[in-house]
Chains A and B, each alone.
Chain A
Amino acid sequence: MNKWSGLRVYALIYLAFLYAPILLLPLFAFNDAAIIAFPLTGFSTRWFEQLWTTQALHQALRNSLFIATITSILATLLGVCAARAGTLANFPGKRGFLGFVMLPLVLPEIVIAVALLVVVRQVLDLDLSNWTVIAAHTVICIPFSIAILNGAFQNLDSSFEEAAMDLGETRWGAFRLVILPLVFPGIISSLLICFIISLDDFVIAQFLTGANPTMPVYIYGLTRFVDALPLIMALGTILVTISIALLIVAEYFRRRGVARAGLKDTGGFL
């Protein structure tokens, strides 16, 4: 037991380091003072009420939700294609190819953002809009989508599809009736993860957003005004809650997929 107590302390410190700052969000969000400082002055929901009446915020939220929805659908669609090609096809340089597809995962976002800005403005000469943000978000979401869906597709017994065809189905029929239902939880999981990534992104949106900012860009804008800080705390509280809820749902679907395919769990996001 002694051997583990050290590790346990380490784990607790680690978790505190990770989550204690986030716990400050709700603390100040419900605090009845315009200045972010201890001691707390009293319970209040007025910051939330103020959020409720801020029109610009609502517009930013709508933008963010629209972008996140379209992004998650596009990235997941492309991810399905890539993951399926990855499990089906064998071609020279496949590993290298997949490696390059996954690269945006480790590239600094600001590099991608600047590069995309140059492409959009100088090369294509397009106006910045929600659609430019969607295009960029799709690029950074695809690696995540592929990582999730690769797992889902590779977990499948390769004879499932052949068995369905042997029993009279066409290739498309086999995909629709057997493969798709089995990877469906993976698809849901990918949709949710991409949705969160798009919703959370600040750097790329800051560069590529049009006249209407996304939520994170709007929040950044607010930080210039000291008296808006409690508002940000309230907003942050809401966002953290939503993010955690979505992540839990995504993980639930991923695990259900693994169970459905009758396989051992080999780890996931949670």
Chain B
Amino acid sequence: MSAQSKPVAAPLIQLRGVHKHYGDYHALRGIDLEIRQGEFFSLLGPSGCGKTTLLRTIAGFETPSSGTLMIDGRDMAGVPANHRPTNMVFQSYAIFPHLSVAENVGFGLRRDPRPRDQKSRAVAEALEMVGLGGYGSRAAHALSGGQRQRVALARALILKPKVLLLDEPLSALDKKMREQMQVELIRLQRTVGITFILVTHDQEEALVMSDRIAVMFEGEIGQMADPERLYRRPNTKRVAEFIGKMNLLPGDVAIEGNQILVDTAGLGRGAIEAEQAPGGVMPGRTTVGIRPETLGLLFPGETTDRRLAEGVVDEVVYYGDMTYYDVRVAGVERPLTISMKNLIGRPVLEVGAATQVVWDERSLVVLSR
């Protein structure tokens, strides 16, 4: 989101060839990762992909079977969780139910040598920071989901960790609360300047909040990039299908001179840039991806200098601000999904209507297997 506005700094966290085995199960398969100071980094992937294991490894709750983990230039081998410069917000929040809100937030200060009144001021400030000023004397078990999460945040941040680890922190909240907390988390991260590592299975959440995202599948990182790059130029079919909606079409790649030509089924031939094949340019059969919003329909009275393809409307899903069309195009088995903004004067087409699909070779992405 704002990767360019942040200065490039030395990596705060470095993982080299980290593997984790649970008996026969290979949970992490050689993770190489660098996370910079002050970054909002997300580990995104379906359940069971190893993202939580990776987070817990950084926290010190899991020991890597092999490989090294460095935090702030220090090798973390043999360093237990309570001696690491990391703090965690647990998925269940793990708010201690027998303690008050202030006692929960101040829990990590037990070993702090500061006098009592300074500590209670720190607790009050931490609560203020997460918008729970004055809640200190409340009983922890009487809090709502959103409040619990804020307490968990305050409790972790009061120790001024180098890294804050967040394990699916928003998954227990309802949609509205989740969107509000996303914005608040971004704001909070900018204010405190602490490196955040977020684990999530929600691609939208990762796109909204992160500076960089690592997409994980089956214990491996599939792609690591900033949100825009990840969305526009996924390197494989798997990443493309996991993030947002993507039309997948069979295609053929050919190299002629210094041009890369892609023949996409149903659409036709077009020249692409090398960056449109993030997984590498390989001549021959391939899969071409194209996002629904980068395709268009040519409505009566409109003109375009873009490429066109004949099609028939197969399905219409009306969302109010948008309409999603499934359009059959000759030469493609699955209809293309196309999203259109419902601008003034634009009709909503009927199923069976003949139409023209507008496309552009600049929005194609060649996906490797």
State the CA gap A270–B107 with chains docked (Å).
36
Q: Which stretch (B24-32, B90-98, B263-271, B283-291) binds chain A? A: B90-98
State the CA gap A260–B97 with chains docked (Å).
6
Distance from A236 Cβ to chain B, minimum over Cβ atoms (Å): 40
Is A260 a contact partner of B98 (Cβ separation < 8 A)? Answer: yes
Number of A-B contacts (CB under 8 A): 59
Give chain B residues whose Cβ lies under 8 Å from the Cβ of A178: 96, 98
Is B107 a contact partner of A164 (Cβ separation < 8 A)? Answer: yes
Is A182 a contact partner of B98 (Cβ separation < 8 A)? Answer: yes
The main secondary structure of chain A at its interface with chain B is helix
Query: Is A170 in the interface zone, CB < 8 Å from B?
Result: yes
State the CA gap A170–B156 with chains docked (Å).
16
Query: Is A245 in the interface zone, CB < 8 Å from B?
Result: no
Is A159 a contact partner of B90 (Cβ separation < 8 A)? Answer: yes
Query: Is A111 in the interface zone, CB < 8 Å from B?
Result: no
Is B81 a contact partner of A159 (Cβ separation < 8 A)? Answer: no
State the CA gap A166–B97 with chains docked (Å).
17
Is B88 a contact partner of A166 (Cβ separation < 8 A)? Answer: yes
Query: Is A99 in the interface zone, CB < 8 Å from B?
Result: no
State the CA gap A169–B141 with chains docked (Å).
22
Which residues 88-117 of A sit at the B interface, judged by CB distance below 8 A?
A: none
Give chain A residues whose Cβ lies under 8 Å from the Cβ of B107: 164, 167, 177
Distance from B238 Cβ to chain A, minimum over Cβ atoms (Å): 30
When C-beta atoms are compared, the residue in chain B nearest to A162 turns out to be B61
Per the CB 8 Å criterion, the residue count for chain B at the interface is 23
How large, as a class, is the contact surface on chain A?
A: 10 to 19
Query: Is B162 in the interface zone, CB < 8 Å from A?
Result: no
Give chain B residues whose Cβ lies under 8 Å from the Cβ of A177: 107, 110
Cβ contact of A160, chosen from B61, B91, B94, cutoff 8 A: B94
Query: Is B159 in the interface zone, CB < 8 Å from A?
Result: yes
Give chain B residues whose Cβ lies under 8 Å from the Cβ of A170: 82
Query: Is A163 in the interface zone, CB < 8 Å from B?
Result: yes
Is B110 a contact partner of A169 (Cβ separation < 8 A)? Answer: yes
Query: Is A168 in the interface zone, CB < 8 Å from B?
Result: yes
In the complex, per-residue mask of A134-174: 1 if CB is within 8 Å of any chain B CB, else 0: 00000000000000000000000101101111111110000
Is B94 a contact partner of A159 (Cβ separation < 8 A)? Answer: yes
Is A181 a contact partner of B94 (Cβ separation < 8 A)? Answer: no
Give chain A residues whose Cβ lies under 8 Å from the Cβ of B80: 165
When C-beta atoms are compared, the residue in chain B nearest to A167 turns out to be B108
Query: Is B339 in the interface zone, CB < 8 Å from A?
Result: no
When C-beta atoms are compared, the residue in chain B nearest to A178 turns out to be B96
Given contacts A167-B87, A167-B155, A168-B159, whether A162 and B81 have CB atoms under 8 Å apart is: yes
When C-beta atoms are compared, the residue in chain A nearest to B107 turns out to be A167
Name A residues whose Cβ lies closer than 8 Å to a Cβ of B. Answer: 157, 159-160, 162-170, 177-178, 181-182, 260-262
Across the A-B interface, the 5 shortest Cβ-Cβ residue pairs: A167-B108, A163-B94, A159-B94, A262-B141, A159-B90
